[in-house]
């Protein structure tokens, strides 16, 4: 088993180091090889996703990714910006299925901006289609308008498109995931306005026939955004397209109080995957040793479960994270009165200690 380790920029290097430390104590046989990605790769090689990094990612069974980006790269041409590395990896590895669990840990109920009764026990899974939709649809660009409200004016355009097979494969991923949970799928679209969404809904209904044991319902994206803050526990598995999923999964993430807690997995059809925290490179706190490494550590657990076929090791990490939270240790983003504030490294050390069953001092 080979893991490509791509820490990236900002807090990426700090949080990935903690996840690697946790993987190291599991006594599993895998090879880890690191490479530059994002702004760090641009500085060293002139490109955010150098050929050598892409080759390493393609050859690996899984990619453990930190985060990329910094405001200082905002003036670069779009293809050279750090964030392009993520799009390039998704496209080249065919990572079409993005899993974003939003779990509210009992100990962190107070960190949410919602009332505790709305959020306690929350455990939802957002499945976002990742390689289609308006983010990749061609044609796109800028031109002089020949029609519309302002002919002759500069305009920009993107293309929202989905093919039937693209929707079929993400639908099956969602139904299969629901079978392992509470057997309910909510498909989110905007079929009252968009052709792509009407096809999305038609295909969901077709694939649902293969899964008579799973209940399917549909929701318009604007309503889904409201329901996520009104009654989030109504949801279990949510499946949606690339753009709606981008927005809803961040909304769901924040329900739980801190983006620093939320892992994600992006998989292709051979279960090769890229695992990363749901947050970005947090330039505002980079280098200060205060970032929460738990989202990345939990992403490593997802990697063990989905791509490396090591479910017991994944369980060990997840139980260790729960034990550390129960012991009262908190990074700044999840700190509250009565708990002990720790830094990135101490949090990683505590997870290692919980795995190796050393005493955790809260």
Active site residue ranges: 135, 190, 222, 246, 250
Question: Number of residues in contact with ligand NAD, rule: CB under 6 A?
Answer: 22
User: Which is nearer to ligand NAD, 190 or 279 (by Cβ)?
Assistant: 279
Which uninterrupted H or E stretch holds 102?
A: strand 97-103
Order of all β-strands in the sheet with 184-189? 31-34, 2-8, 62-67, 273-277, 263-267, 97-103, 123-129, 237-240, 184-189, 215-220
Considering only the C-alpha atoms of the chain, give the largest distance between any 2 of them, rounded to a whole number of Å: 70
Judge whether 111 and 254 are in contact, CB under 8 Å.
Answer: no
Q: What is the C-alpha separation between 302 and 183, in angstroms, rounded?
A: 21
**What is the rounded CA–CA span in Å between residue 268 and residue 132?**
13
> Among 145-153, 230-238, 273-281, 318-326, which window interacts with ligand NAD (CB under 6 A)?
273-281
Distance, CA of 54 to CA of 352 (rounded, Å): 30
Question: Which listed residue (67, 253, 313, 354) binds ligand NAD by CB under 6 A?
Answer: 67
- HSE-up (13 A, CA, CB side) for residue 297: 33
| CB 79, min distance to ligand NAD, A | 15
For ligand NAD, the closer CB: 67 or 219 = 67
Query: Residue for token digits 């494969």?
Result: 169
Q: Is 259 in the site for ligand NAD (CB under 6 A)?
A: yes
Q: Determine, following the binding rule CB under 6 A, whether residue 48 of this chain makes contact with ligand NAD.
A: no
Residue 76 or 194 with smaller CB distance to ligand NAD: 76
Of 122-130, 221-229, 272-280, 308-316: span binding ligand NAD (CB under 6 A) = 272-280
Which neighbouring-strand residues pair with 4? 33, 63
Binding residue for ligand NAD, selected from 7, 48, 50, 69, defined by CB under 6 A: 69
14 sits near ligand NAD (criterion: CB under 6 A): no
Within 73-150, residue ranges assigned H as helices are: 84-93, 116-119
Residue found under tokens 């306005």: 193
Q: How far is the CB of 240 from ligand NAD (least distance, A)?
A: 18
Measured distance CA(84)–CA(64) in Å, rounded: 17
Rule CB under 6 A: is residue 333 a binding residue for ligand NAD? Answer: yes
Residue with tokens 């309910």: 184
Q: Does residue 343 bind ligand NAD (CB under 6 A)?
A: no
Which residues are bridge partners to 186 per DSSP?
217, 238
- Nearest CB to ligand NAD, comparing residues 200 and 244: 244
> Contact region for ligand NAD (CB under 6 A) — 49-57, 61-69, 177-185, 239-247?
61-69
346 touching ligand NAD, by CB under 6 A: no
Q: By the criterion CB under 6 A, which residues form the site for ligand NAD?
A: 11, 15, 67-70, 83, 86, 259-260, 276, 279-285, 291-292, 295, 333
């Amino acid at each position: 088993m080979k893991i490509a380790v791509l820490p990236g920029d900002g807090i990426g290097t700090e949080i990935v180091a903690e996840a690697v430390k946790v993987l190291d104590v599991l006594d599993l046989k895998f090879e880890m090889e690191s490479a530059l990605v994002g702004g760090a790769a641009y500085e060293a090689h002139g490109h955010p996703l150098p050929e050598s990094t892409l080759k390493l990612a393609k050859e690996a069974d899984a990619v453990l990714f930190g985060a990329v980006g910094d405001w200082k790269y905002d003036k670069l041409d779009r293809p050279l910006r750090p964030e392009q590395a993520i799009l390039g990896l998704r496209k080249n590895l065919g990572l079409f299925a993005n899993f974003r669990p939003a779990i509210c840990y009992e100990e962190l109920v107070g960190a949410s901006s919602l009332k505790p009764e709305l959020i306690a026990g929350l455990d939802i899974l957002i499945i976002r289609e990742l390689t289609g939709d308006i983010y990749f649809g061609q044609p796109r660009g800028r031109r002089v308008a020949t029609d519309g409200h302002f002919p002759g004016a500069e305009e920009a355009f993107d293309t929202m498109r989905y093919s039937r097979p693209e929707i079929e494969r993400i639908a099956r991923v969602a139904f299969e995931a629901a079978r392992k949970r509470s057997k309910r799928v909510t498909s989110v679209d905007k079929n009252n306005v968009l052709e792509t969404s009407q096809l999305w809904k038609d295909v969901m209904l077709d694939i649902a026939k293969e899964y008579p044991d799973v209940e399917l319902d549909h929701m318009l994206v604007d309503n889904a955004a409201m329901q996520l803050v009104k009654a989030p526990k109504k949801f279990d598995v949510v499946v949606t397209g690339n753009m709606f999923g981008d927005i809803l999964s961040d909304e769901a993430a924040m329900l739980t109080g801190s983006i620093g807690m939320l892992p994600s997995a992006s998989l292709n059809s051979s279960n090769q995957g890229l695992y990363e925290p749901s947050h970005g490179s947090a330039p505002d706190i980079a280098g200060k040793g205060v970032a929460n490494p738990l989202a990345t550590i939990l992403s490593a657990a997802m990697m063990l479960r989905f791509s490396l076929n090591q479910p017991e090791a994944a369980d060990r990490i997840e139980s260790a994270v729960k034990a550390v939270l129960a012991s009262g240790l908190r990074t700044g983003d999840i700190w509250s009165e009565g708990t002990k504030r720790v830094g990135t490294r101490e949090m990683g050390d505590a997870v290692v200690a919980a795995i190796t069953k050393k005493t955790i001092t809260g």
